Each structure stands twice: as C-alpha cells, then as structure tokens.
Amino acid sequence: MAVRRDKRKRFFLVSVLLSNEPGALSQASKVLAIRDLNILEGYSCTVNHERQGVWSFIAESNSTRMDAKFIGDLLRESPLVEGVEIEESHNGLVIDTLNFPVIWGDGARAVVLNANFMRQAFELAEGVAGEAATQFIYQLGVSYGRARWNAVFADAIGTLEENIREATKLLSATGMARGELVSFVLEPPSVEISMQDCFEVVGEDPARASCNFTAGTIAGAASEAFKEELRGEEVECVSKGDNRCLVVVTRPQPG
C-alpha cells in the first residue's frame, strides 16, 4: 500500500479509526458499497487488547463529483467509526503518509523494506568484509529469531514440536521463505527446516550457500524454544544447485 501511481486516474488514500467491536469493519464497508468507488487494496489492523483498530485502503474513482469530503461523510455515518483521514492523489500519485508507524499485531513497530534491497545490502557487506560480514548477518538473524519467538510463542501451549512447526509458518508470514519442518528431535536437540523461495537466494554465486540471515533466524528461534544455545547451518541451498534450501539446527560440538 505504500505507493500507487497512474497519471490517468484519481486515487484516494483512506484511513479509518474504528471501535474494536464485532461488526465494526463490516458496518463501515457497507456504507461504501456505492457506484464509482473501487477499493484497490487495503488492510485492517487491531493491536492486541487495544480499544481501537485501523482500516486503511486505497480506492479509485472515475467520477469527478466524488471527493474526499463525500467519502468521509459516508464513512462517518457508521456509529463505530471514530475518525477518518483522507488524502487525494496528486497527478495520479498517492503515497501512504497516514498510517505511521507501521506496526505488528503485537504493537511493535515495523519497517517495510524491499527484499532486493536486503539482498544487495547483505552482498555488499560480504563483498567488503567477507566471512566477518557473513557471521554478522547470521547473528542479526539469531537476534531477530529470538525476538519473534518470544513475541509469539513465549506463553504458547502445546508440545515443543507443535510450537516449532507453527513458528515455521512465520517464515512465510514475514515474506522470508516458504518453510516446512521436516525433522524434529528432542534430545539431543535437532531441527531441520526446508525452504522454498528464500528471499536471500540470488543464484549468482553457486559456490556458496547464501541464506545466512534466514538460517540465523531459525537458529535463534530454536535456541529460545529449547532454552539453550543452538547453531544453524544451511546444508543445502538453491544457489548451489539444490532443489531446496535446508537449514539444520543442532547443539554445537565442543571446541
């Protein structure tokens, strides 16, 4: 939703503050079931346990009679709408300046970055600092994995294997990869995660595995899950010609 551009069209960026009550979103959306307004993309988010939520979307209209005031007045007809902000495009360009900061469902602030940019940043660091940068990127992943596990699974019920299987879905939810738990051993601790479409894989250097941040993320989450320091290693990678990326997390060997 960050940017929408088409100089032939008129866009409206709409941010609606809703009461966190059953039916709030459906009531607000019903009043927009009118001609000449086409909702293109959007999202709704209610931070856990908060009283209010946000529904935001970008819409287009071919009607010269429709404007921000008209849309706002429609939305305010719903008693569960507590506030409305609307911006109209300028020369066919609208940029989301209303929904800041971007947040996770648990209320933590997030930053949206292009996957290509992340890959290029990792490659640049490794080109300058070599193995030291590779280990740094891995450790960044470890810190991220620990944080995500604690945010989502710190108080989770169920077996450890069940929770790790569910945690693997976070790889997909955050756009990192399509992950699958293929092996779990309780003692000695061992986890194998198979991945497709890992965002780090570029295929330019077939001599090395490249999913260092993602491997660290998996290792960090597993370390929190097992309550001990574990090490992740990518033993298969698409960049080396394998048909998948495979991260194996185990207890480090002494020495």
In the chain the first and final C-alpha atoms are separated, in Å, by 49
Task: Give the helix, strand, coil percentages of the chain, each rounded to 5.
Answer: 35, 30, 40
Strand order in the sheet with 52-61: 38-45, 52-61, 10-19, 81-88
**Amino acid present at 129:** A
38 - beta bridge partners?
60
**pLDDT at position 255, please?**
64
- Given a contact cutoff of 8 angstroms between Cβ atoms, the answer to whether 168 and 194 are in contact is no
**Amino acid present at 237:** C
Alpha-carbon distance of 63 to 186, in angstroms, equals 62
**pLDDT at position 105, please?**
67
Structural domains of the chain, ranges and CATH numbers in brackets = 3-110 (3.30.70.260), 115-250 (3.30.1380.20)
As given in the structure block, the two tokens for residue 72 are: 């706002």
- Given a contact cutoff of 8 angstroms between Cβ atoms, the answer to whether 190 and 227 are in contact is no
The Cα-based distances of 128 to 7, 53, 123, 206 in angstroms read 41, 44, 9, 19
**pLDDT at position 195, please?**
96
**pLDDT at position 209, please?**
65
Kindly give the parts of the chain with pLDDT less than 50.
none
**pLDDT at position 47, please?**
65
- Distance, C-alpha 221 to centroid of its chain: 16
**pLDDT at position 154, please?**
86
**pLDDT at position 25, please?**
86
- The pTM assigned to this predicted structure is 0.81
Phi/psi of residue 147, nearest 5 degrees: -65, -45
Alpha-carbon distance of 145 to 167, in angstroms, equals 10
